[in-house]
Amino acid sequence: MYGKTISYAIQGIDAQQITVEADIKGGLAKFSIVGLPSNSVKESKDRVSAAIKNSGFRFPTHSYTVNLAPADIRKDGVALDLPTSLALVYALNQMKTAKLEKYAFIGELSLDGSLRPVNGVLPVAVACWKDGLDGLILPYENAKEAAIIDELNVYPAASLNEVINFLEDKLKIEPFKVDKKEMFSHLDESPVDMF
């Protein structure tokens, strides 16, 4: 059984598209993450498994592997929690959707399945828009930063369950919009003269 999602890894000031693949196979329970993951990505095993179970989904009792491609790019941080969990839930046939490869996903998962904000959202939003994806799904706290890219549909969510319900058309999430003029209006009020 196989599932695939799209995410991004920060490389300097840019974001590199990452494919997150999950493969479930028979045998004793074993969770492997391959593709040059950092320690924080390796630690996601515990967050992801708890979040899936505490969101009401069955977690695999078999051996499974998560591949982060391309394998020659180091993946750092916790932003891959959400796409990893979605790839696993899909591979376990617990989610029915054809939308997984139309969106990019970033977000840290808490043990109860709620989403936590991550760093590096703006370069991810720029790369997502340049790559022509239908949108970016991420934690609410990151929506304002990502929505600076007008041409990108940014869908904020509070939990793994909300994301899955959105992907299965059980929940409508409107794209987040930001008033950039208002957002940056305070920059005109600087007491320092600019040359």
Ordered per-residue pLDDT tens for the chain, 195 residues: 899 999 999 999 999 999 999 999 887 778 888 888 788 788 888 999 999 999 999 887 888 899 999 999 888 889 999 999 999 999 999 999 989 999 999 999 999 999 999 999 999 999 999 999 999 999 999 999 999 999 999 999 999 999 999 999 999 999 999 987 777 766 666 555 555
What is the C-alpha to C-alpha distance for residues 90 and 6, in angstroms, rounded to an integer? 13
Tokens of 179: 């008033």
DSSP output for 121-139: HHHHHHHHHHTT-SEEEEE
Q: Is the pTM of this model over 0.85?
A: yes
Nearest CA-CA partner of 22 in 36, 40, 3, 9: 3
Q: Are strands 103-105 and 135-139 parallel, antiparallel or unpaired?
A: parallel
Walk me through the domains of the chain, giving residue ranges and CATH numbers. 2-189 (3.30.230.10)
In the chain, DSSP finds a helix count (H) and a strand count (E) of 7, 9
Cβ neighbours of 131 (radius 10 Å): 12
